[in-house]
Amino acid sequence: MKFFIDTAKVEDIKKANDMGVICGVTTNPSLIAKEGRDFVEVIKEITSIVDGPISGEVKATTVDAEGMIAEGREIAKIHPNMIVKIPMTVEGLKAVKVLNAEGIKTNVTLIFSANQALLAARAGATYVSPFLGRLDDISVRGVDLIREIADIFAVAGIETEIIAASVRNPIHVTDCALAGADIATVPYSVIEQMTKHPLTDAGIAKFQADYRAVFGE
Ligand code: E4P
């Protein structure tokens, strides 16, 4: 399983990129709004940091296929690495079909069932984004959805990649990897949590103490 970072905060993207662990970025309208910056300006800056797929979503207020197609074409023009993020609706699927035929890659977002993922894949989505954290929030096991989609795609030989989204903690990450997600898109705070283990800290402290006792600094 590969990692994308799920944020529009450029400082966090730089930090994760410097660690060498991410190969892409996902954003959404809430994350862009949180930064309070112009969409195209932020996206351009992100493309200058990470050399990999960057998902930029059509405007949250655009709900018709025509509008999403027009915006998708503009997003794709920003940089060759751009992936157009489209919500999982009938209009969204129509937009995915047209953009895919034009060679524009898409990420169908807000997936909460295996059937939605299957439809998005058949419409031509490059990626599907099932949201596991938001399912856990309503007492439905999000990881079961990731596993179902992975099984269905394997049986059907579907090449659409599964991005496990709405990842909230390190256990989610391990669960997604075991369930067969191709990618997990993870906030920086979770990446940081994943680096830590108390025995690692204790081990470093002991190595330092033993070294200093004999050799000094
Ligand atoms: C995915 O692409 C979304 O940006 C994201 O993972 C949503 O996560 P949340 O449910 O924590 O907002």
Reported as a single tens digit per residue, the pLDDT across 115-169 is 999 999 999 999 999 999 999 999 999 999 999 999 999 999 999 999 999 999 9
Q: How far apart are CA 101 and CA 188, in angstroms?
A: 34
- Count of structural domains within the chain: 1
What's the gap in Å between 216 CA and the centre of ligand 1?
Answer: 48
Token output for 17 = 């990129």
CA-nearest residue for atom 7, ligand 1, is 166
Q: Is the dihedral of CA 92, 152, 160, 10 positive or negative?
A: positive
Task: List pocket residues of ligand 1, CB cut-off 6 Å.
Answer: 6, 26, 28, 109, 129, 131, 133-134, 165-166, 185
pLDDT computed for residue 75 by the predictor: 98
Reported as a single tens digit per residue, the pLDDT across 144-157 is 999 999 999 999 99
What's the gap in Å between 93 CA and the centre of ligand 1?
Answer: 20
Task: Write the CATH number for 137.
Answer: 3.20.20.70
CA-nearest residue for atom 9, ligand 1, is 166
Low-confidence ranges of the chain (pLDDT < 50): none
pLDDT computed for residue 195 by the predictor: 98
Q: How far apart are CA 109 and CA 96, in angstroms?
A: 11
Question: Which residues span the domain enclosing 145?
Answer: 2-215
The radius of gyration of the chain's CA atoms, rounded to the nearest angstrom, is 19
pLDDT computed for residue 120 by the predictor: 98
pLDDT computed for residue 92 by the predictor: 98
